[in-house]
């Protein structure tokens, strides 16, 4: 009960008491007047109660509307995973259909190539048989001419041997061509088959990365020229496990931002990224500033220059850009680009090996390419204490430096 209603109640009680007393003492007029006032007070009290009930009902209605809106939002949020899953399934079905169509076209093209090679080999064999028949006929004719033409017969025999040798070379070349085409077709089919599940792996890695790091600005895209989500996720986990104080990266980009976030979450560590393209280096610096990571990561412009390693000349980053670096605990080799020259990434370990800390980890990206695989094999053969870890993704290799 409100204060106003309490006062009105007391007034009504007083008027009721006054009415009773006036009625007892015979003051009928005053009793009627008091009764009228009592009724007026009661009407005012009832109107006030009615008004407050209306306000209460209005508030309850507003609360109900807010609860209804909240419930609708919750229902939409509950349905969001199902919508995302349905969208993912539709995308996967579309990719799978396209992959199957591509495989069918490749199989048809491969069959046509093999059929064409077989027809060429058959035609060459027929031409050889015909040529051998002609040569045999000429030999018989020359034999009948007697000993005077023996020299000619020897020339024909020599010609026949050369023809036979040419035939063997032709057949060997055709066989080698067929085997090469077959190997390329098998490799192509394997890559196409891989496309059926590769997008799922990359999406899963990207989702795990998104949960791992709370980005403060839009993140740069992954895949294509940039590092794939599976390799990025592996790098972030490696930083969590090893907690490196010094990380050096050959080639800046999306990986620079993810590595900087991973080091920041540990509360320490420094990242130095080498970049040969000055404009791209400045772009990466701006991205780091947008994410508030300039205090963790540094992008150094290191133009490509000629360096000598083991008596050979290579094109690599300017060595003066790494003179102050030491005790490197994690080295990521994702540059220079292949277009800069043969075995472009090989000089990384020979030039930075003396600056590695014991137990340092080296990650080499793009080892599905022959030149990077050749670089990894050369490092293992030339660097005592360097071992290759067993677990690796399709496009990166992990090595550990354990000097004696």
Picking from 129-133, 234-238, 303-307, which range would have the lowest pLDDT averaged per residue? 129-133
Q: Mean pLDDT score of the chain, rounded to an integer? A: 80
| 243/185 same-domain check | no
Q: Which of 264, 212, 219 is nearest to 233 (CA)?
A: 212
Tell me the per-residue pLDDT of 263-292, one tens digit each, with 9 for 90 and over. 999 998 999 999 999 999 999 999 999 999
Predicted confidence at residue 320, as pLDDT, reads: 95
Tell me the per-residue pLDDT of 19-60, one tens digit each, with 9 for 90 and over. 777 777 777 777 787 777 878 777 777 787 788 778 887 888
| 130/259 same-domain check | no
| 270/339 same-domain check | yes
Rg, C-alpha atoms of the chain: 44
Q: For residue 332, report the phi and psi dihedrals to the nearest 5 degrees.
A: -105, 120
Residue 75 lies in a domain: no
Which CATH number do you get for residue 245?
Answer: 3.40.50.150
Tell me the per-residue pLDDT of 362-395, one tens digit each, with 9 for 90 and over. 999 988 889 999 999 999 999 999 999 865 556 8
Contact of 344 with 350, CB cutoff 8 Å: no
Q: Quote the tokens at residue 157.
A: 């025999």
DSSP one-letter code for 293: -
Q: Quote the tokens at residue 48.
A: 């006030």
Give the mean pLDDT of 72-88. Answer: 72
Top mean-pLDDT range of 123-132, 151-160, 301-310: 301-310
Tell me the per-residue pLDDT of 180-229, one tens digit each, with 9 for 90 and over. 666 666 655 655 555 444 667 678 767 777 677 788 898 888 765 677 88
Residue 4 lies in a domain: no
pLDDT above 80 (res 354): yes
Q: Which residue has the tokens 């290191």?
A: 302
Q: Which of 43, 33, 56, 53 is nearest to 8 (CA)?
A: 43
Structural domain boundaries, residue 185:
103-194
Report the number of distinct structural domains present in the chain. 2
Picking from 28-42, 78-92, 235-249, which range would have the lowest pLDDT averaged per residue? 78-92
Peptide bond into 336 cis (omega under 30): yes
Q: Which residue has the tokens 């394997």?
A: 190
């Amino acid at each position: 009960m409100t204060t106003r209603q309490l006062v009105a109640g007391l007034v009504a009680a007083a008027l009721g008491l006054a009415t009773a007393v006036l009625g007892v003492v015979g003051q009928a007029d005053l009793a009627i007047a008091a009764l009228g006032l009592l009724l007026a007070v009661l009407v005012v009290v009832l109107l006030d109660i009615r008004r407050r009930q209306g306000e209460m009902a209005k508030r309850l209605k507003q609360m109900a509307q807010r609860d209804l809106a909240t419930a609708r939002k919750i229902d939409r949020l509950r349905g969001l995973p199902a919508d995302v899953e349905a969208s993912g399934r539709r995308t996967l079905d579309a990719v799978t259909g396209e992959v199957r169509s591509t495989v069918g076209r490749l199989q048809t093209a491969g069959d046509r190539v093999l059929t064409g090679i077989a027809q060429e080999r058959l035609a060459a064999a027929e031409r050889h048989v015909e040529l051998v028949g002609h040569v045999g006929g000429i030999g018989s004719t020359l034999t009948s001419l007697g000993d005077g033409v023996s020299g000619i017969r020897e020339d024909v025999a020599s010609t026949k041997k050369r023809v036979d040798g040419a035939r063997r070379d032709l057949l060997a070349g055709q066989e080698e061509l067929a085997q090469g085409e077959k190997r390329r077709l098998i490799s192509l089919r394997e890559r196409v088959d891989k496309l059926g599940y590769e997008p799922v792996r990359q999406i899963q890695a990207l989702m795990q990365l998104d949960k791992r790091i709370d980005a403060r600005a839009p993140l740069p895209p992954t895949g294509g020229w940039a590092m794939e989500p599976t390799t990025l996720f592996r790098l972030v986990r490696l930083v969590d496990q090893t907690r490196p104080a010094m990380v050096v990266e050959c080639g800046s980009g999306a990986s620079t931002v993810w590595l900087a976030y991973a080091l920041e979450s540990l509360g320490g560590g420094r990242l130095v990224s080498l970049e040969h393209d000055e404009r791209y280096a400045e772009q990466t610096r701006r991205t780091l500033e947008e994410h508030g990571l300039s205090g963790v990561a540094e992008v150094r412009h290191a133009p490509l220059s000629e360096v000598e390693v083991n008596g050979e000349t290579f094109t690599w980053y300017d060595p003066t850009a790494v003179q102050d670096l030491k005790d490197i605990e994690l080295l990521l080799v994702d540059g220079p680009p292949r277009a800069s020259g043969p075995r472009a990434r090989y000089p990384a370990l020979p030039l930075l090996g003396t600056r590695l800390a014991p137990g340092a980890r080296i990650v080499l990206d793009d080892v599905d390419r022959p030149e990077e695989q050749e670089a990894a094999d050369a490092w293992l053969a030339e660097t005592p204490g360097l071992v290759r870890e067993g677990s690796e993704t399709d496009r990166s290799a992990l090595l550990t430096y354990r000097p004696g």
